[in-house]
């Protein structure tokens, strides 16, 4: 699809509400403890504007990017990703020893890794953490079904035995967000989690709901010796305190960045780019390429969309190219294409391309009638925390209405959305996004088990089983096409396209590396 004729959206005139929000920034800053003015000398803290209030600080209990972004500074994983998205060890001493049949993983932990409560991490902590992850995280639950046994082998040894070879295991253990396999002190575990005791370069200090989450430097942190690379290698808490501030209004995040009141402002509307580029040194725009893909998730469990035929009719009505243009405006920020992975990926496939970007209202209306759709409301959950979610949902609602669907658009704050989407009685569609990663099983969570949408079918099981038990990367690439075809056929979700993300940072924030989940270890305040 060509977008040559698209007009780039301009930043809308600020509402009174937005202006009020911007004027309250200074007041907000004064609520943060130990606030220091720039003129008083070098700062020891960074103020980081996030898109919302996190609904939890338990990294296993939520698949929200926001939770992972904050808590990856507190909790670490056995493995992680380097700058080229290769799996590398973090809390593990090295890569695991894998048996010839691909079923047994022997993992040795690094010695002397300090927990935030003062003692060292042991294999018992790791086993308890992984068991909790498999009990509570949608991602962990999916992995748990693949595991025959999990046990400690001495104080620093862990053995994982699989029922059958499972190629994505290390990538699942490495992911720093979206229901993280975080290692935590055994004695801190509870539901809900109240004590946040990890091994990261920062420890939890304080949370004031709707005001801030404070993390402070962990002086006994045990870094790796390898050079920093992506999420891998040496981590150092150079900045003494990280202050994550919820700023749900996107215009307020923009104005705060332009005023130099934030050291970092996450996920800004793309139409703000021209203003950020002319900010006279108070802030610098950051474009994170190949950031992810917007996602339209369907409730396959109950309600009108439990019918596969109705979901197919909805897919027929949608024009993903139009939705991306509404969400991002500037073609520098999006690509409309049916393949879930780019041509550079071994998982590139054109499977299902004929079902992408159909935008056929007449065909969709006929298909819905044949499927037995009788005008039931299609409740769409969306939020203004991410401008592109909201703008895409407005256009999608119009596309569906043209096809004869009754649409009930429910605009809520992000915390409410992430809460409501766990209840199948409350929605039919919700709008979100996922990161674009080298391993397909890392996103979206609907490929696993139990994630909102609750997709489960024989075709899903068969295609994913073949894909995940194949260890040969070349053969796995070909098998992904069959999974992608099932997604297009059964429509548990729709991958709208690919997008680049816009954020901003202060010139004072030095050595920041743009990535999917922003991290602030190894970062300095000048």
Q: How many residues does the chain have?
A: 526
Q: How many helices (H) and strands (E) are present in the chain, helices listed first? A: 15, 20
Domain around 242: 16-73+197-288+503-525
Cα separation of 131 and 126, whole Å?
Answer: 8
Query: Same structural domain for residues 67 and 106?
Result: no
Query: Same structural domain for residues 314 and 422?
Result: yes
Q: How far is CA 392 from CA 122, 206, 286, 416, 429, in A?
A: 47, 36, 22, 19, 13
How many CA atoms are closer than 13 Å to the CA of 157, on its beta-carbon side?
7
Per residue in 422-473, pLDDT tens?
999 999 999 999 888 888 988 888 888 888 999 999 999 999 999 998 888 7
Query: Same structural domain for residues 251 and 324?
Result: no
Query: Same structural domain for residues 254 and 112?
Result: no
Q: Which of 188, 206, 225 is the last residue of a domain?
A: 188
Confidence band, pLDDT 50/70/90 cuts, at residue 24: very low
Confidence band, pLDDT 50/70/90 cuts, at residue 13: very low
Give the per-residue pLDDT at 280: 80
Query: Same structural domain for residues 410 and 441?
Result: yes
Looking at per-residue pLDDT, the higher value among 229 and 384 belongs to: 229
Q: Which of 188, 223, 243 is the last residue of a domain?
A: 188
Q: Dihedral sign, CA of 165, 168, 174, 179?
A: negative
Give the per-residue pLDDT at 344: 80
- How large is the average pLDDT for residues 302-322? 97
- Enclosing H/E stretch for 87: strand 87-89
Task: List the single range of 221-235, 340-354, 394-408, 477-491 with lowest mean pLDDT.
Answer: 340-354
Per residue in 69-92, pLDDT tens?
999 999 999 999 999 888 999 999
Give CA torsion, residues 496, 420, 131, 224, to 10 deg: 60
Query: Same structural domain for residues 345 and 411?
Result: yes
Per residue in 128-170, pLDDT tens?
999 999 999 988 998 999 999 999 999 999 999 999 999 999 9
SS3 48: strand
Cα separation of 126 and 109, whole Å?
Answer: 9
Query: Same structural domain for residues 143 and 218?
Result: no
In total, how many domains does the chain have? 3
Q: How far is CA 150 from CA 94, 104, 129, 132, in A?
A: 19, 10, 11, 12
CATH number of the domain that residue 102 is part of: 3.90.76.10
Confidence band, pLDDT 50/70/90 cuts, at residue 414: confident
Q: What pTM, to 2 d.p., does this model score?
A: 0.80
Residue 59 lies in a domain: yes
Residue 192 tokens read as: 């809900």
pLDDT at 27 over 90: no
Confidence band, pLDDT 50/70/90 cuts, at residue 32: low
Beta-ladder partners of 315: none
Say if residues 242 and 212 touch (Cβ distance below 8 Å).
Answer: no
Residue 6 lies in a domain: no
Query: Same structural domain for residues 113 and 137?
Result: yes
Cα separation of 296 and 429, whole Å?
Answer: 7
pLDDT at 275 over 90: yes
Confidence band, pLDDT 50/70/90 cuts, at residue 62: confident
Give the per-residue pLDDT at 442: 86
Give the per-residue pLDDT at 290: 82
Query: Same structural domain for residues 483 and 405?
Result: yes
Residue 275 lies in a domain: yes
Per residue in 35-52, pLDDT tens?
444 444 567 999 999 999
Give the per-residue pLDDT at 505: 96
Cα separation of 510 and 526, whole Å?
Answer: 7
φ, ψ of residue 108 to 5 degrees: the values are -110, 130
Per residue in 356-381, pLDDT tens?
999 999 999 999 999 999 999 999 99
pLDDT at 33 over 60: no
Give the per-residue pLDDT at 386: 84
Looking at per-residue pLDDT, the higher value among 374 and 32 belongs to: 374
Residue 243 lies in a domain: yes
Q: How far is CA 464 from the centre of its chain?
A: 21
pLDDT at 493 over 70: yes
Query: Same structural domain for residues 283 and 299?
Result: no
Cα separation of 156 and 84, whole Å?
Answer: 28
CATH number of the domain that residue 201 is part of: 3.40.190.10
Q: What is the mean pLDDT of the chain?
A: 90
Query: Same structural domain for residues 387 and 327?
Result: yes
Say if residues 409 and 427 touch (Cβ distance below 8 Å).
Answer: no
Say if residues 402 and 68 touch (Cβ distance below 8 Å).
Answer: no
- How large is the average pLDDT for residues 178-193? 95
CATH number of the domain that residue 459 is part of: 3.10.105.10
């Amino acid at each position: 699809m060509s977008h040559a004729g698209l007009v780039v959206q301009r930043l809308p005139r600020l509402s009174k509400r937005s202006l009020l929000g911007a004027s309250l920034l200074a007041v907000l800053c004064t609520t943060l403890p130990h606030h220091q003015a720039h003129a008083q000398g070098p700062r020891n803290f960074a103020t980081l504007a996030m898109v919302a209030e996190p609904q939890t600080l338990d990294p296993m209990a939520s698949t929200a990017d926001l939770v992972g972004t904050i808590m990856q500074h507190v909790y670490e994983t056995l493995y992680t990703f380097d700058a080229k998205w290769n799996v590398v060890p973090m809390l593990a001493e090295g890569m695991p020893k894998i048996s010839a049949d691909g079923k047994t993983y022997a993992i040795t932990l690094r010695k002397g890794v300090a927990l935030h409560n003062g003692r060292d991490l042991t294999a018992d902590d790791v086993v308890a953490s992984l068991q909790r992850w498999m009990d509570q995280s949608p991602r962990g639950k999916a992995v748990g079904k693949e595991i025959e046994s999990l046990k400690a082998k001495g104080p620093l040894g862990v053995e994982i035995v699989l029922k059958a070879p499972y190629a994505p295991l290390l990538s699942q253990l490495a992911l720093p967000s979206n229901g993280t396999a975080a290692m935590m002190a055994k004695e801190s575990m509870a539901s809900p989690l109240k004590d946040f005791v990890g091994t990261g370069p920062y420890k939890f200090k304080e949370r004031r709901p709707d005001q801030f989450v404070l993390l402070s430097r962990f002086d006994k942190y045990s870094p790796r010796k390898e050079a920093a690379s992506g999420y891998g290698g040496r981590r150092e808490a150079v900045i003494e305190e990280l202050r994550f501030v919820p700023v749900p209004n996107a215009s307020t995040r923009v104005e705060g960045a332009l005023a130099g009141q934030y050291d970092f402002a996450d996920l800004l509307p793309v139409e703000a780019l021209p203003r950020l580029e002319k900010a006279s040194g108070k802030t610098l725009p950051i474009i994170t390429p190949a950031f992810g893909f917007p996602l339209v998730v369907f409730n396959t469990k109950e309600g009108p969309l439990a019918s596969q035929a109705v979901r197919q009719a909805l897919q027929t009505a949608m024009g993903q190219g139009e939705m991306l243009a509404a969400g991002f405006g500037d073609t520098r920020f999006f690509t409309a294409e049916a393949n879930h992975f780019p041509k550079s990926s071994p998982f590139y496939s054109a499977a299902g391309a004929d079902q992408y970007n159909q935008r056929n209202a007449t065909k969709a209306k006929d298909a819905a009638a044949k499927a037995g759709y009788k005008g039931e409301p299609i409740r769409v959950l969306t939020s203004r925390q991410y401008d592109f979610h909201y703008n895409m949902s407005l256009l999608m609602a119009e596309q569906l209405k043209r096809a004869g669907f009754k649409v009930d658009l429910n605009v809520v704050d992000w915390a409410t959305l992430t809460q409501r989407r766990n209840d199948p009685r409350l929605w039919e569609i919700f709008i979100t996004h996922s990161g674009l990663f080298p391993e397909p099983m890392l996103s979206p969570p609907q490929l696993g088990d139990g994630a909102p949408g609750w997709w489960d079918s024989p075709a899903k099981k068969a295609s994913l089983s073949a894909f995940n038990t194949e260890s040969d990367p070349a053969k796995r690439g070909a098998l992904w096409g069959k999974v992608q075809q099932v997604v297009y056929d059964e429509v548990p979700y729709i991958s709208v396209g690919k997008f680049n993300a816009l954020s901003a940072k202060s010139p004072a924030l030095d050595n920041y590396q743009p990535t999917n989940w922003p991290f602030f270890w190894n970062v300095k305040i000048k």
